[in-house]
């Protein structure tokens, strides 16, 4: 069984990037360091140095995800200290943070991911990723065909945020609105172990590793959806309206128990009708969908992190009674709040 | 996590069958017991008593595997003490022995399965199963569509005995030669835990249990094939020639290092040409395929159960040198004998 200690070992690529990162702090030494580099040599080794623009690929082709594993599903360790250059690719990239943090940036926003955080980056979405010296993250690279096979043609039939996101972004072969999906699986040990098992399976490549890889990847998502669906956030990059969407999310998440459309509309200086339409357009959900999701999400958080009774939590997140809370919770999680608390 | 202790608890059906089995030892009491039974009531509860022929279904329809789980994949505990009545079904049944033993019989032969043994019973194959008071076994019931999805249309592309067996028997919707496939996974803990996880997942039916069930079932087979492919035995029920096939297997398995076609042909009173043709027809393999498989199988057994060096084992099973043995072993297992020994 692979351990984090093994993943913490520095690969030759990481050593090179660490040297680059450390040199960069001293401008004089850094110029000297750069002058020793040969762009052709770097390109040959797939090493990226932004100061040598010819080494920076702006687009990674699908062949990468198709050729490296016949299956189109490649789990890798994300290089630590690799400079965060803006790029996009023809495949899906799913980043999973193991420890420390991971900087994820799009053209308009930055976000710090924490251990257990997942980020789904669809084909064609411009982004930058940075993993520091003390961080660890895995990247699952998946061809569009592999994602379609798993989430569209396969057994994931319940439509939910994650399946819908994968579906929508694998239909056209590119992102429709330049957005990524974030999911927070916190310190779930089962998911972390599965992610490590997937990585290890691909390192070993024993017989039948391809069906094993797919099976573990599907199991990973089934379990992630089971417990953390309510933590999903779609980060839209639409320049004008994303601030509005963010404001809507902030308003609702802050106190879902008190959220109401007229009050929100007033804050945004829109009519309730226009606000409602904007939300549907930008998020794909209605205002009351978002409120319900936020209530359940807050409730799940309280179930995990407090000893409050189910009845008290129902009250805190704004349900009239425990029964309607339990019903709503079961709709989302297919289990009762008590079962959820036991399993988490 | 489900434990064997929980599975050892007697269900109402099992209690009834245990009573039946115990009564049967005393002819007088047994007649009295039978007279208290109502066939209509038994049929309603799906209970089978051979002395009341109307309760014995000879054929189980596919609807069973399709309706009980939308996915067509149902893991269940096999009822202990249920009388071993001859039947067949429209779906695949895969029996996995957890402890004790399991009697498996076809119209012409009987076989005692041990813990870790798997038996794949294709649609349309007549068979009887008996699990005693001190035994435990799971049964995975799979619709033909589910098996096709997993083994024919999916990622199991390497053709091997198991995949070929599932394929051949899910093409026509029925068995071609009334045969079952047996596989011996011995005391492999990972497989046993996966089998129990699959059972538990279906008991709980939390959200996304269908993709989770399939993923774990695929992982179970990928791992089983990885380590135990060489233990596969196809039990053919063809009355005339099955004895010959059995004799061929016995001859080869007994001493694969010395096996040769002319000597075998002489024993069977056939020409070598006819023997060769018969083997290909009845098993789908050439004589030398079977010998190689038997050598590797014997080697795998020695790697597991002795401390002999790889070189010594190569010699014992009849390879000219360690290199050609390692090459042949890697072709079968995708790992070296040393790696295999470490993993098992």
Over residues A165-201, the pLDDT tens digits come to: 888 787 654 455 678 999 999 989 999 999 999 999 9
Place of tokens 């879902």: A256
Which pLDDT band holds residue B226 (cuts at 50, 70, 90)?
very high
Examine the pLDDT at A93 and tell me if it is beyond 80: yes
What are chain A's domains? 57-235 (2.60.120.280), 242-343 (1.10.10.60)
Which pLDDT band holds residue A158 (cuts at 50, 70, 90)?
low
SS3 state at A92: strand
H/E/C letters for each residue in chain B?
CCCHHHHHCCCHHHHHHHHHHHHCCCHHHHHHHHHCCCHHHHHHCCCCCCCCHHHCCCEECCHHHHHCCCCCEEEEECCCCCCCCCEEECCEEEEEEEECCEEEECCCCEEEECCCEEEEECCCCCEEEECCCCCEEEEEEECHHHHHHHHHCCCCCCCCHHHHHHHHHHHCCCCCCCCEEEEECCCCHHHHHHHHHHHHHHHHCCCCHHHHHHHHHHHHHHHHHHHHHHHCEEECCCCCCHHHHHHHHHHHHHCCCCCCHHHHHHHHCCCHHHHHHHHHHHHCCCHHHHHHHHHHHHHHHHHHHCCCCHHHHHHHCCCCCHHHHHHHHHHHHCCCHHHHHHHC
- Complex ipTM, two decimals? 0.74
- Partner-chain contact B222 A215, CB within 8 Å: yes
Structure-block tokens of residue B301: 């057994």
Digit-coded pLDDT (tens) for A299-337: 988 888 889 999 999 999 999 899 999 998 888 777 889
Measure A130 CA to nearest chain B CA, in Å: 32
Quick one: average pLDDT of B222-243?
77
- Partner-chain contact A222 B205, CB within 8 Å: no
- Partner-chain contact A158 B226, CB within 8 Å: no
Which pLDDT band holds residue A240 (cuts at 50, 70, 90)?
very low
Q: A with B: how many residue pairs have Cβ under 8 Å apart?
A: 102
Digit-coded pLDDT (tens) for B158-172: 678 898 888 878 765
Closest partner CB to A335 (pick from B71, B158, B206): B206
Which of A100-104, A206-210, B38-42, B300-304 has the lowest average pLDDT?
B300-304
Measure A206 CA to nearest chain B CA, in Å: 5
Partners of residue B155 in chain A, C-beta under 8 Å: 71, 210-211, 214
Structure-block tokens of residue B40: 């209509």
Tell me which residues of chain A, numbers 154 to 183, contact chain B at a CB-CB cutoff of 8 Å. 154-158
In chain B, the percentage of residues whose pLDDT exceeds 70 is 90
Alpha carbon distance A167, A162 (integer Å): 8
Closest partner CB to B333 (pick from A207, A219, A339): A207
Digit-coded pLDDT (tens) for A55-69: 888 777 655 554 444
- Partner-chain contact A214 B218, CB within 8 Å: yes
**Phi, psi (rounded to 5 degrees) for A130:** -135, 130
The span from the first CA to the last CA of chain B, in angstroms, equals: 23
Examine the pLDDT at B227 and tell me if it is beyond 50: yes
Query: Is A324 in CB contact (< 8 Å) with chain B?
Result: no
């Amino acid at each position: 069984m692979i351990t984090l200690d093994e993943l913490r070992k520095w690969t030759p690529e990481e050593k090179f990037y660490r040297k680059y990162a450390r040199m960069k702090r001293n401008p004089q030494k850094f110029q000297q360091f750069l002058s020793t580099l040969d762009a052709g040599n770097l390109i040959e080794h797939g090493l990226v140095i932004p100061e040598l623009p010819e080494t920076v690929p702006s687009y990674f082709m699908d062949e990468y995800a198709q050729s490296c594993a016949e299956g189109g599903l490649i789990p890798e360790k994300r290089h630590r200290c690799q400079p965060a250059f803006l790029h996009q690719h023809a495949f899906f990239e799913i980043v999973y943070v193991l420890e420390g943090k991971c900087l994820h940036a799009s053209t308009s926003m930055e976000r710090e991911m924490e251990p257990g955080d997942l980020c789904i980056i669809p084909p064609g979405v411009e982004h930058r990723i940075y993993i520091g010296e003390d961080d660890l993250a895995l990247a699952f690279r998946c061809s569009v065909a592999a994602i379609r096979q798993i989430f569209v043609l396969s057994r994931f039939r319940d439509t939910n945020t994650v399946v819908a996101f994968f579906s929508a972004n694998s239909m056209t072969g590119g992102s429709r609105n330049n957005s990524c999906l974030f999911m927070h699986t916190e310190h779930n040990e089962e998911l972390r172990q599965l992610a490590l098992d997937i990585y290890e399976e691909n390192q070993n490549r024993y017989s039948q590793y391809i069906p094993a890889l797919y099976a573990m990847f599907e199991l990973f998502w089934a379990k992630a959806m089971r417990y953390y669906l309510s933590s999903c956030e779609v980060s839209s990059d639409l320049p004008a309206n994303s601030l509005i969407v963010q404001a809507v999310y902030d308003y609702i998440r802050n106190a879902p128990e008190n959220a109401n459309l007229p009050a929100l509309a007033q804050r945004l200086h829109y009519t309730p009708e226009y606000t409602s339409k904007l939300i549907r357009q930008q998020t794909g959900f209605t205002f009351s969908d978002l409120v319900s999701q936020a209530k359940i999400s807050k409730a799940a958080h309280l179930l995990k992190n407090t000893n409050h009774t189910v009845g008290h939590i129902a009250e805190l997140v704004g349900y009239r009674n425990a029964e309607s809370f339990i019903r709503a919770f079961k709709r989302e999680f297919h289990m009762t709040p008590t079962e959820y608390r036991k399993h988490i």
